[in-house]
Amino acid sequence: MSRYTAVTDADREAMLATIGVSSLEELFDGQIPDGVRLQGGLDLPDGMPEQEVYAHLLDLARKNTSAEDEITFLGAGMYDHYVPAMIDMLLGRSEFLTPYTPYQPEVSQGGLQVMFEYQTAICELTGLDISNASVYEGPSAVAAAGYLAKLANKRPRYLVSAGLHPDSRQTLETLSVGYGTEVVEIPLKDGATDVDALREMLSDEVSAVVFQQPNFLGAIEDVQALSDAAHEVGALSICQADPISLGVLEAPGRQGVDVCVGEGQTLGNRLDFGGPSFGFFAATTEHTRRMPGRIAGETVDGDGRRGFVLTLQTREQHIRREKATSNICTSQALNALAGVVYLGWLGRDGLVELGELLVQRTHYARQVLTGLDGVTALHDQPVVREFAIRLPDDVTTADVISLCQDRGVNPGFDLGRVRPEWEGGLLVALTEQRSRDHIDRLADVLAEAIAAARDGEGRATSPILSSVGGAA
């Protein structure tokens, strides 16, 4: 006999009578506004056989252009890094692929060890004392860091660099409304956060100074100066960092940063049309109990054997809601596992070598592109893997990008989409998958596209996605 049986009209009437209403319409009346209520049935097409559904989905998929279909220099938060086959193999194992939240955590020793090893890697990468077991993605990690600062000092203002990723800023602003904190922008000076302007904006109402390393325009920030300025008024220094760049840049935690967060997609996770990925979150010890999510710890059992436990669980499913610092769940844990496997695959030396390779190729690409007629650097700051250029004034960036794509090359991200003062700007990103030949190809195609756009051959198309990172 089935556990589930159909609900009869008599059953439905009895349930409605129990709660004191005569119909579903009466139940919803006054609770759900008419403007958002469905009127009539769902307008769905007839069902199709499985093979027809497959063919239909295949046709839809062919409308997409993936990073494997073109030479792409698109970045802006998501990057086309190589993902080794061993990551798919390990993530596909049932003990990693199928488990959900360890509500009896000590039973899940393997899962807890994965969390512990991941946390250790993130601490070593960021130079900070403690890491959680990951959050959903980079922007929500920034927002959670802002809430941590609010809990720490109860102050009502964030000073946020204009070089912070637009998606991260938008997420921080959205959540800040809920706890009464305003976001005030620190301007850039030649592509980097203006430290002098920051100092003039400081006061005892500032909860945190939030910036990105490298910033959204690819510029390397003076992290120590920004952190020192924040600490002058007792504010926290919050840095959103590109983990790949930390192979060649000093760890934020060794430059005065209190909280370092970031997007983990570059660590063993594919683009997959903008997700899923994971966010990393590390901080100094004093903020341990304000961190979101979960923290795994190492211990010994009654027989003295090494074991792992969930040391802290600050999400609302585990503790009282009013005491929780997040509702982070576990759907990103598999992506975090990809991150620690990727870091283990690279190793310390490999991460440095990758960073040095990106610096060399980015320097070459910057030189080649700014050597084109009418193309200039948007700023002169040092860069690691991404840089901004300005196209000639007599062409439209969207037209140039479209013409390049027609030739099989995606040249980068249209900066005018996010800030009007960056109109005419193009953000170009490098990964280890872009060779010197690819860069030369980009230069040739970009020169051709600029010439064609001047001749009126441009055919700009509307961006599919409004978010920045999703565009990758």
DSSP 244-285: GGGGTSPPGGGGT-SEEEEE-TTTT---GGG----EEEEE-G
Domain 85-342 = CATH 3.40.640.10:
yes
Task: Tell me the average pLDDT across 112-138.
Answer: 95
Task: Tell me the average pLDDT across 102-106.
Answer: 68
| Phi, psi for 456 (deg, rounded to 5) | 85, 25
- 144's enclosing H/E stretch is helix 138-153
Whole-prediction pTM: 0.87
> pLDDT value at position 461?
47
Question: Amino acid identity, residue 67?
Answer: A
List, for residues 448-469, the tens digit of each pLDDT value: 999 999 988 655 443 433 345 5
The strand pair at 236-241 and 206-213 is best described as parallel
Q: Where are the domains of the chain?
A: 71-82+349-462, 85-342
pLDDT greater at residue 272 or residue 236: 236
Question: Amino acid identity, residue 249?
Answer: L
Go through the chain and tell me how many residues it has. Answer: 472
> pLDDT value at position 441?
98
471-to-57, 184, 214, 386 alpha-carbon distances in Å: 21, 26, 19, 16
- The pLDDT confidence band at residue 314, using thresholds 50, 70 and 90, is low
| Phi, psi for 90 (deg, rounded to 5) | -70, -40
Domain 71-82+349-462 = CATH 3.90.1150.10:
yes
List the 206-213 sheet strands across, edge first.
130-131, 279-283, 259-263, 236-241, 206-213, 157-161, 182-186
H helices within 301-435, ranges in order? 333-370, 397-406
Whether the domain at 71-82+349-462 and the domain at 85-342 fall into the same CATH topology: no
Q: Which residues touch 452 (CB under 8 Å, ≥6 apart)?
A: 403, 458
> pLDDT value at position 54?
97
- Among 41-50, 96-105, 139-148, 223-232, the range scoring the smallest mean pLDDT is 96-105
List, for residues 12-33, the tens digit of each pLDDT value: 889 999 998 888 888 888 788 8
| Phi, psi for 447 (deg, rounded to 5) | -60, -45
Contact status, residue 131 vs residue 280, Cβ threshold 8 Å: yes
Quick check: 236 pLDDT over 90?
yes
